[in-house]
């Protein structure tokens, strides 16, 4: 299993939730971490401050991942990146009421799926000459389960991540670049705490076969596995407490 010390990792949407925990964990493993987000840049700055206070190395990359020009320019400016974690997402429960159904669908696909595609493409080009690289795509158990009306775009965007993973695994393999999908169920994050009342959260957790949501650290553990093990590629790690098979 590979030691990650000295690797440089970019985490899209690394300013909060699972991305934040991933950023902290990779820094602990000795990676230099680039923390991306588009809107609340102060959150990304706080993550980087925490990393640096703990003796690690980090920087902020403020960029909307759906903006092709900004992503390409950003990658040029960042220099070498060894690890790309496509984690940014438009939260489906923070629906922008001004958009029509079609406009919302396009925006979710743009951020969640096209954003991961643009970053992976830019990453692949710069990682090929290095002869080593890792792409991790964050999907969701919702890519396999029937969606409610308000989360159709989200589920479709996350199902697309699996195809993206296989495509980049295939095209990256000759250059020592792996790509894998991490597919969580319910994960306890600050957003979930804001969105769900204590009662609703308890009800949703009770419906999970293992009786609880995951911690972000448990998700980070699965990410570390595919980063360290260079022989796993094009695969999906389902980490959902049994939600995948539950009725
Ligand atoms: N939490 C769960 O229960 C759960 C379950 C299954 C899968 N997942 C997946 O795990 C990943 C992380 O989930 P989370 O709950 O931690 O997410 P989250 O709290 O909603 O955070 C999303 C992140 O994406 C950033 N972001 C939003 N729009 C962006 C854009 N256009 N460009 C760049 N960054 C953007 C946000 O920052 P700004 O808004 O400041 O830009 C934030 O850092 C997601 O891919 C999610 O689908 C989560």
Contact 12, 19 (CB under 8 A): yes
Phi first, then psi: give them for residue 240, nearest 5 degrees: -145, 15
Protein fold of 8-236:
Rossmann fold (3.40.50)
Contact 60, 41 (CB under 8 A): yes
Token pair for 77:
């400016």
Contact 11, 26 (CB under 8 A): yes
Query: Degrees (nearest 5) of the Cα angle 112, 193, 183?
Result: 40
pLDDT in the model for residue 1 = 64
Domain boundaries, the chain: 8-236
Collect all residues with Cβ–Cβ distance below 8 Å to 98 and sequence separation of at least 6. none
Choose the residue to mutate in 16, 47, 62, 89 for probing ligand 1, maximizing ligand atoms within 8 Å of C-beta. Answer: 89
Token pair for 90:
């438009």
Entry pTM: 0.98
SS3 content of the chain, % helix, strand, coil (to 5): 50, 15, 35
Query: Is residue 245 among the annotated active site residues?
Result: no
Atom of ligand 1 at shortest range from CA of 190: 19
Choose the residue to mutate in 88, 106, 214 for probing ligand 1, maximizing ligand atoms within 8 Å of C-beta. Answer: 88
Residues with CB under 6 A from ligand 1: 12-13, 15-19, 36-40, 43, 64-66, 87-91, 111, 115, 138, 140, 184, 186-187, 189, 191-192
pLDDT in the model for residue 244 = 86
Candidates 154, 231, 244, 245; catalytic one: 154
Tens-binned pLDDT, residue by residue, of the chain (247 aa) = 689 999 999 999 999 999 999 999 999 999 999 999 999 999 999 999 999 999 999 999 999 999 999 999 999 999 999 999 999 999 888 888 899 999 999 999 999 999 999 999 999 999 999 999 999 999 999 999 989 999 999 999 999 999 999 999 999 999 999 999 999 999 999 988 888 999 999 999 999 999 999 999 999 999 999 999 999 999 999 999 999 888 7
- Helices 41-53 and 17-28, axial angle in degrees (round to 10): 20
Please give the order of strands across the beta sheet that includes 236-239. Answer: 57-62, 32-37, 8-11, 83-86, 133-138, 177-184, 236-239
* Bridge partner list, 17: none
Atom of ligand 1 at shortest range from CA of 112: 45
């Amino acid at each position: 299993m590979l030691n990650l010390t000295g690797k440089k990792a970019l985490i899209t949407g690394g300013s909060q939730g699972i991305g934040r925990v991933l950023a902290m964990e990779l820094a602990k493993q000795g990676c230099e971490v680039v923390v991306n987000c588009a809107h609340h840049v102060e959150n990304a700055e706080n993550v980087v401050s925490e990393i640096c206070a703990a003796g690690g190395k980090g920087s902020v990359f403020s960029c909307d991942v759906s903006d092709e020009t900004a992503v390409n320019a950003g990658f040029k400016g960042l220099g070498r990146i060894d690890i790309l974690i496509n984690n940014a997402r438009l939260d489906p429960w923070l629906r922008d009421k001004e958009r029509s159904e079609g406009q919302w669908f396009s925006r979710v696909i743009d951020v969640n799926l096209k954003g991961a595609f643009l970053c992976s493409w830019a990453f692949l080009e710069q990682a090929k000459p290095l002869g080593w690289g890792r792409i991790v795509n964050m999907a969701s158990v919702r890519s396999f389960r029937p969606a409610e009306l308000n989360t159709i775009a989200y589920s479709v965007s996350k199902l697309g991540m699996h195809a993206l993973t296989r495509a980049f695994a295939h095209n990256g393999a000759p250059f020592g670049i792996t790509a894998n999908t991490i597919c969580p169920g319910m994960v306890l994050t600050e957003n979930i705490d804001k969105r769900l009342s204590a009662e609703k959260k308890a009800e949703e957790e009770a419906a999970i076969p293992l009786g609880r949501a995951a911690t972000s650290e448990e998700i980070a553990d699965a990410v570390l596995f595919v980063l360290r093990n260079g022989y796993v590629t094009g695969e999906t790690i389902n980490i959902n407490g049994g939600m995948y098979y539950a009725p």
